Structure 1
Amino acid sequence: MSTSFNQAIIEEFRANGGKVGGPFEGGDLLLLTTTGAKSGREHTAPLGYVRDGDLLLIVGSAGGADRHPAWYHNLLAHPLVQVEIGTDAFEAIAVPAVGARRDELFERVVRVVPGYADYQTQTDRVIPVVMLERSDEGEPPAITNLADKLLQVHTWLRGQLDHVHEEAAAYVAARAAHQGGAAPPRPGLGLRLRQHCLAFCQFLEVHHTGEDSHMFPWLEGRHPHLADTFRRLGEEHRTVSRLQKEIVALLADIDAVAPERFMAELRSLTAELHAHLDFEEKNLIPVLAEIRLPFG
């Protein structure tokens, strides 16, 4: 689809609570916003989807073309995506299915939208099926001040970091079992760990960059007696960033990395980040609680 055609659909979708006419009328449509793999800019694409339990499935058919769509390359580089369905907007982690799992999900999709089978016959590439896993859980807490907002972000970070540890433990256990003579780890386990870990690092980097560039300088101007606190928080950000980069480098070829090395790096990041979040909350929550939201 052309850029202008896509943009017209996006505008109609947002103006009408997710409903559009033309060739997509009556179909299940979502808007997927990804971060450009090379540009770093946001890109939004209207895509059909199929529900599978709690998962949303999207398909990189590209109309049967011989190349994956741009949004697929984007989510491999930056797995944390924005999803809009109707009037609901939320973050999700994009995890491509591979091997038998991909084939199983593709069959489910084709039962709902048979046209995807036709697209697969038009190309030699394996058309990707991507699982969108909603990253938030339950109703968001009431946000009345900046302290509430900071705690919401920190709760998300702690929860996602716990999830990364769960994925890593499953991956390491499967690798160890294989070395002991069991069946090899199922395809995609390393990719799943990679996507969840990258999504966590992606969000953390944006959060810390925003604090360093905007929130901390603004707060220091209002509370100069906290200058030493902000300097320490900035130093901790740099330490966390270094640890993040080391983990991201390992994720580039996770199946070739010794599991013990990856787990050691993950434990280092976890210890540093937990200490940082605790220190930030202890020192900033009293100040942030006095700043009501929304501003005005």
Structure 2
Amino acid sequence: MPQSFNHAIIEEFRANGGKVGGPFEGGDLLLLTTTGARSGKEHTVPLGYVRHGDLLLIVASAAGAPRHPAWFHNLLAHPLVRVEIGTDAYEAVAVPAEGARRDQLFAHVTRAEPGYADYQTRTTRTLPVVILERSGPAEGDAPRPAANVADKLMEVHTWLRAQLDHIRAESEAHLAARATHQGPGEPPAPGLGLQLRQHCLAFCQSLEFHHTSEDAHLFPALASRNPHLSEVFDRLAAEHHTIARLNGELLALLADIRTADPTRFRAELDRLSGELRAHLDYEEESLLPALSAIPLPGN
């Protein structure tokens, strides 16, 4: 869709609580904000969606064009996206479905919205089906609002630990499936798979952003108020360098998931996990008392 047309839909969507007129009136529409694969800038597009149980599905159809839409390339590079439906807005991890699961989900999509089947006939490419997985707590399950910087830090640390547990569980399941395959049927695909790759990439990028923000803003501001914690900040900075190196090595394995060795991936993930968990524990023990005295704006 032309950029000016998209912009008008986005403005109408946000001004009317997710409702729009014209050709999309009455349809299921969401706004997807991705980070540019090359530019690093945010891009928002209106897209139709289909629900399948608890799953929220979008299709990279581009109306049957020969190439994937730009937003699909963006979410492959930066899986953490922002979703707006009605008046609800949240972060999600975008995970393209693969193989038989993709085919099953696409069949469901075409039963709900037959137009996507027509789009598929117009192109030789397989239209990707993308699952948008909410990355934070659902509405009603959210923790109490953060009152100070310590609360905010714990929110981030809790999310990082949960994502690390999730990725580890997916890694174990992937290895178990490969190890136990017997008899007829295709063995599990080589490499890591898009689901594991997208979750790990989202985690690694979020971790990098969190530590970069701490180094650039939080730690200098806190150090100026607490000179007696200078040794703590020196240790935290050194740990950031170690974790950044391990994070980079893990990201390198994700460059080509078709040839990545799952066993090596798990070993690298274990190394990062051990360093990160010890780092988070030490940071909380050392800084939370000082951070609890700093209110967030508006509190």
What's the RMSD between the two structures over aligned residues?
1.9
Distance 2:99 2:184 in 1: 21
Number of residue equivalences: 296
Matched position secondary structure for 1:12: helix
| 2:191–2:259 contact (8 Å) kept in structure 1 | no
Partner of 1:14: 14
Partner of 1:121: 121
Structure 1 residue 295, shift from structure 2 partner: 4.3
| 1:161–1:270 contact (8 Å) kept in structure 2 | yes
Partner of 1:150: 153
Q: Map Cα deviations across residues 72-131 of structure 1 (whole Å, 9 max, x no partner).
A: 001111111111111111111111012111111111111111111111111111111001
Structure 1 residue 175, shift from structure 2 partner: 2.2
Task: List 4+ stretches of structure 1 deviating above 6 A.
Answer: 179-182
Matched position secondary structure for 2:82: strand
1:281 correspondence with 2:284:
yes
Which letter does structure 2 place at the counterpart of 1:68? H
Partner of 2:56: 56
Distance 1:187 1:68 in 2: 24
Q: Map Cα deviations across residues 131-160 of structure 1 (whole Å, 9 max, x no partner).
A: 111112342212111111111110000000
Matched position secondary structure for 1:133: strand
Partner of 2:199: 196
Distance 2:210 2:54 in 1: 27
Which letter does structure 1 place at the counterpart of 2:68? H
Partner of 2:179: 176
What stretches of structure 2 of length at least 5 have no aligned partner? none
Structure 1 residue 179, shift from structure 2 partner: 8.3
Partner of 2:297: 294
Partner of 2:131: 131
Distance 2:93 2:69 in 1: 18
- Residues 181, 234 of structure 1: CA spacing in aligned structure 2 closer, same or farther, 3 A cutoff? farther
Alignment of 1:1-296 (within 5 A): 1-138=1-138, 139-142=141-144, 143-178=146-181, 183-185=186-188, 190-295=193-298
Distance 1:127 1:182 in 2: 24
Q: Map Cα deviations across residues 243-285 of structure 1 (whole Å, 9 max, x no partner).
A: 1110111112234233321111110000000011001100111
Q: Map Cα deviations across residues 213-239 of structure 1 (whole Å, 9 max, x no partner).
A: 111111112222222222221221111
Distance 1:228 1:190 in 2: 42
User: Does 27-36 or 169-178 show the bigger shift?
Assistant: 169-178
Matched position secondary structure for 1:82: strand
- Residues 188, 260 of structure 1: CA spacing in aligned structure 2 closer, same or farther, 3 A cutoff? closer
User: Does 211-220 or 180-189 show the bigger shift?
Assistant: 180-189
Matched position secondary structure for 1:225: helix
Distance 2:189 2:175 in 1: 12
TM-score of the two chains, using structure 2 as the length reference? 0.94
User: Does 133-142 or 106-115 show the bigger shift?
Assistant: 133-142
Distance 2:222 2:198 in 1: 34
Aligned identity (percent) is 68
- Residues 7, 187 of structure 1: CA spacing in aligned structure 2 closer, same or farther, 3 A cutoff? farther
Distance 1:228 1:164 in 2: 33
Distance 1:99 1:170 in 2: 17
- Residues 51, 215 of structure 1: CA spacing in aligned structure 2 closer, same or farther, 3 A cutoff? same
- Residues 186, 137 of structure 1: CA spacing in aligned structure 2 closer, same or farther, 3 A cutoff? farther
TM-score of the two chains, using structure 1 as the length reference? 0.95
| 1:97–1:188 contact (8 Å) kept in structure 2 | no
Which letter does structure 1 place at the counterpart of 2:196? L
Distance 2:197 2:179 in 1: 18
Q: Map Cα deviations across residues 14-65 of structure 1 (whole Å, 9 max, x no partner).
A: 1111111111111111111111111111111111101112211000010110
